[in-house]
Amino acid sequence: MRSWLPFEWIAAIRFLRDGWMQTIFILAGVSMGVAVIVFMSALLTGLQANFLSRVLSAQAHLVLLPPDEVARPLRAAEGLVQDAVVQRPSQRIRSIDQWQTLLRQMQAMPQVAEATPVASGGALAMRGEASRSITLTGVEPEGYFRIVRLPDSIVAGQPRLTSEDIVIGTDLASEIGVGVGDKLRVTTATGRDATLTVTGLFDLGNRGVNERSTFVALRTAQSLLGLTGGVTSLQITVRDPYAAETVAQLAQGMTGIRADSWIRTNLQFFTAVNAQQTSNTVIRLSVGLSVALGIASVLVVSVVQRSREIGILRAMGARRGQILRVFLIQGGVLGLLGALIGSAAGAGALVAWHASVRQADGSQLFPLIIQPQLFVIAAVLAAVTGVLAAMAPALRAARLDPVVAIRG
């Protein structure tokens, strides 16, 4: 043993080496626990990133909408009692008042990454005798495609949107029999119609969306929907998707119009994501607790087995603090070595799982996200857990009376 090592380290390493069977078992237990933590954490991180990417790549984080129209009863003449039945009026397509000012306000908010106007409404797409009900969405491509990554979903043609172009879903194209370069007649409830050229086909992975959603230039939609210079919504992305509801409430308070966040409109999905995070935390705590108990139990046995050696060391002048540190060092070394081995095993298992598990179309099931800080945190926590787990047996060893320990 190197003479430059402190006494506590020399004794701790010798105890670990002499009881090599116990050392191997506890290292295996710690490594397995850390590997499970690393694997589950990285796996759930990748799955959550995949879920968020699929949900948020096809919609904005936040949408500002005009308030609903409300019917109010007329005032009755003085002295008369009027028992009116007020029905909710049908909601017509309306523009957001002073939307340019609101857009500038949203773009000035530090939480907002992108904001763009959208004009949308119902329409009828016709090709010969075939017709389908569609949702006509007018956008400014430069800003909207930074919010909804439609170009990534184009399977034919290109997402070009001039005043005479339209981009439609693959299922709609199949049902009415059109392809890239064909003409499509679009008619709205206002009685206005236009013949547009199909420039691109997209597939967003949802049949309902592919059947109904269509995209045109903002000015084209404004003309067809009777919204001269108006828009029906402002679509926004925020820098932190999980803060979308907070930003929505702030925007609603600033502007006085309705603000819907993706968290509110996808409440079940958001609840599932939170449940995954909670389960991941529970798994980590459970595995960490089992690792700590394993280290503590082995070191307790080591104290009992080495009572005579501890007594001899005390009789030779070793102080209680030195004996205490001997076992604390053992716990820390076991935790740190187990963390290094377990991190490598967990990362290897994750890479192998990612390479072998695929979706039906052959694409990856989830993105492989290996964060370096995860391994650093795992190593630090395992070492700290080892030291804390060794506290009880270390205190027991330090309190041994040397005479009683030597006598057995």
2 is a domain residue: no
Same domain, 252 and 277: no
Express each pLDDT in 185-238 by its tens digit: 999 988 899 999 999 999 987 888 899 999 999 999 999 998 888 999 999 999
Model pLDDT for residues 223-279, shown as the tens digit of each residue: 999 888 899 999 999 998 888 889 999 988 888 888 888 888 777 777 777 777 787
Domain count, the chain: 2
Q: Does 11 fall in a domain? A: yes
| 231 domain-assigned | yes
Q: Which domain holds residue 296?
A: 7-55+270-407
Same structural domain for residues 371 and 282? Answer: yes
In a shared domain, residues 112 and 187: yes
Residues 113 and 251 in one domain: yes
How far apart (Å, rounded) are the C-alpha atoms in residues 258 and 256?
7
Q: Where are the alpha helices (DSSP H) in 218-316?
A: 218-225, 244-255, 262-265, 267-305, 307-315
Same domain, 372 and 293: yes
Residue 100 CB: number of other CB atoms within 10 A? 11
Per-residue pLDDT tens over the stretch 126-174: 988 888 999 999 999 999 998 888 898 899 999 999 999 999 999 999 9
Are 143 and 171 part of one and the same domain? yes
Inside any domain, residue 336: yes
Task: Enter the tokens of residue 223.
Answer: 């003309």
Of the residues 228, 256, 284, the one at which a domain ends: 256
Query: Are both 245 and 285 inside the same structural domain?
Result: no
* Alpha-carbon span 163 to 303, nearest angstrom: 83
Domain-embedded: residue 228:
yes
How far is CA 397 from its chain centroid? 47
Instruction: Tell me, yes or no, whether 178 and 112 share the same domain.
Output: yes
Same domain flag for 225 and 285:
no
Residues 235 and 357 in one domain: no
Q: Specify the pTM.
A: 0.64
Residue 192 shares a structural domain with residue 332: no
